[in-house]
Structure 1
Amino acid sequence: MNRLEELYYEAKADEWFKRFAVFCRIALAASFLPAGYVKIMGERFASGLSSNNPLGHYFDALQLTGYYYTFIGIVQITTAILLLIPRTSLLGALMYFPIIINICVLTYATRFAGTRLVTMMVLASLFLLIWDYNRLKHLLPFKQPKTDPYVLKKPLGKSIRIIFFGSSFAVLAFIIIGTFYLYEIGPQNSEAECKNQCASSKNPAACEIFCDCIYKQGQPLDSCLTTFANAKDIRKSDGK
């Protein structure tokens, strides 16, 4: 057994890491319970999001899929319950991961303002899968050497905890700051929020045109981004 695996088993026995794993399970389950309930009840998810918002278009169409919409809700509720039960938490994590990856890609594609939170959920889900590596490794397409059950020789040092949780905060800071500069413009969650960003924009007039394209005309995101780029080009030409 290499040192990395030894650290893994030491972390599995550490109370701080155990509590963090429980926190991740509860937090992820809490995100799916209300989302699944809304779908089972047939209500529109994120009702406060404008229908002209790119993600609002998606939610409107999804709600009209009938029992498929209900099925998604049932799967989300089931996944959340599995996460909360210790014996079934691994199955819940395995179900949760592909779902949240799909949601994460969707939020990035539509430039949703909640992308940061969804990215954090992906990382928490990934942590839970790594947490159960000792059970998952037998499913990996690699030859597993036969080893004796690990016997804990010493408790995990404080320095490892500091490195892990310090790195976690650093990753969160990177996500928050990085996603802020990821796109030049986004639709935000409402027309008011969209136009609020125009004051600090390098192209306020083009930004206003983009927001009108999204919320007043209800055009697709790609079309409005093209309109935004064209408006910038016209402004540059006028400036020359």
Structure 2
Amino acid sequence: MNYIGKLDSLHLTVRQNKWFNYFTVFNRIALAAGFLPAGYVKIIGERFTDLHNNQPMGHYLEALHHTGYYYTFIGILQMLAGALLLIPRTALLGVLIYFPIILNICILSLAVRFEGSLLTAPLMVTSCIYLLCWDYHRLKFILFPNAQFTPTPKTIDKKIPFKFFAGVFAFLVLFVFTITHMFDLMPRNTVADCKTQCDDAKNPGACNVFCECIHNDGMPFDKALDNYHEAADKAEKK
């Protein structure tokens, strides 16, 4: 059996399982719940958050808010993707619209270290990837034009896939641990919150300066971070 046949066999086995079907529905509902309110806020023209303009994500969202109908357009796409996900026949189209939007949000969140979506955005990207894999039988012809049609599962397997759900749990634990420990310094949402991490920083004084530069002086995030690292490195060499 070639690798395409093996993928087909694995995919059919998964789609026959009742618990995988439940998990798929859960992912669709969870993703829709994440985009429908966010899209509605944009459509009615309200600012998405109350972050200060000097905060890196706040600065971006404030600029985005002033882009006119582009801001509304994003909201429409978010609500459209969320609504399509809730309808079984259009769920694939929904995730195809959803995925590039949430991938952009994920990269943005990591780039500016925004705590508000630092955990949720990557998980939503992972959820989209799962849903794309769920509809592999409809997408495989893009990757493998000569692939054969996969029949619709006729039997239902009620066995709980303990290994899969254990893997999901282990992934979540590892993911949360990694995300919460991968950055040495965070801009946080306010200057007061930012300074709470300074006691444990390599250079507490430079950390406080970093927070002041971000929230009070409006210094670009990368520049403020570079200044902190330079000060921390000098302190270590002394």
Q: CA shift at 1:104, angstroms?
A: 0.6
Counterpart position of 1:81: 83
Q: Distance in 1 between matches of 2:28 and 2:73?
A: 22
1:60-209 equivalences in 2 (<5 Å) = 60-113=62-115, 114-140=117-143, 142-146=144-148, 149=151, 155=157, 157-158=159-160, 161-209=161-209
Amino acid corresponding to residue 28 of structure 2 in structure 1: R
Counterpart of 2:220 in structure 1 is 220
The answer to whether the 8 A contact 1:11-1:156 is kept is no
- TM superposition shift of 1:189: 2.1
Query: What is the RMSD of the two structures over their aligned residues, measured on CA atoms?
Result: 2.0
Instruction: Percent identity, please.
Output: 47
Aligned mates of 1:109, 1:93 — CA distance in 2: 24
Deviations 1:96-148 (CA, angstroms, capped at 9, x unpaired): 111111111111111111311111000011111111111111222x2434367
Please state how far the C-alpha of 1:15 moved relative to its aligned partner.
1.4
Q: Is the 8 A contact 2:39 2:77 kept in 1?
A: yes
Q: Is the 8 A contact 1:32 1:80 kept in 2?
A: yes
1:18 to 2, 21, 32: 21
Give the structure-2-normalised TM-score: 0.91
Relative to 1, partners in 2 of residues 1:147 and 1:231: Cα closer, same or farther, differing over 3 Å? closer
For residue 23 of structure 1, what is the amino acid of its counterpart? F
Tell me by how many angstroms 1:154 deviates: 7.9
Whether the 8 Å CA contact 2:140–2:147 is kept in 1: the answer is no
Moved more, 1-10 or 119-128: 1-10
* Long gaps (5+) in structure 1: none
Q: Is the 8 A contact 1:35 1:45 kept in 2?
A: yes
Shift of 1:4: 4.0
2:150, 2:75 → 1: CA distance? 43
Which secondary structure does the structure 2 equivalent of 1:50 belong to? coil
Q: Hey, what's the Cα distance between the residues in 2 that align with 1:225 and 1:216? A: 15
Extract unaligned runs of 5+ from structure 2.
Answer: none
| Structure 1 residues 101 and 151, CA gap change in structure 2 (3 angstroms) | closer
Whole-angstrom CA distance in 2 between matches of 1:20 and 1:154: 15
Of residues 163-172 and 117-126 in structure 1, the stretch that sits farther from structure 2 once superposed is 163-172
Q: Give the 5 Å matches for 1:31-70.
A: 31-47=34-50, 49-70=51-72
Alignment size in residue pairs: 234
Q: Tell me if 1:9 matches 2:12.
A: yes
Q: Is the 8 A contact 1:9 1:152 kept in 2?
A: no
Letter in 2 for 1:105: I
Q: Partner letter of residue 227 of structure 2?
A: T
Runs of 4+ in 1 over 4 A off after TM superposition: 150-154
1:60 offset after TM fit, Å? 0.5
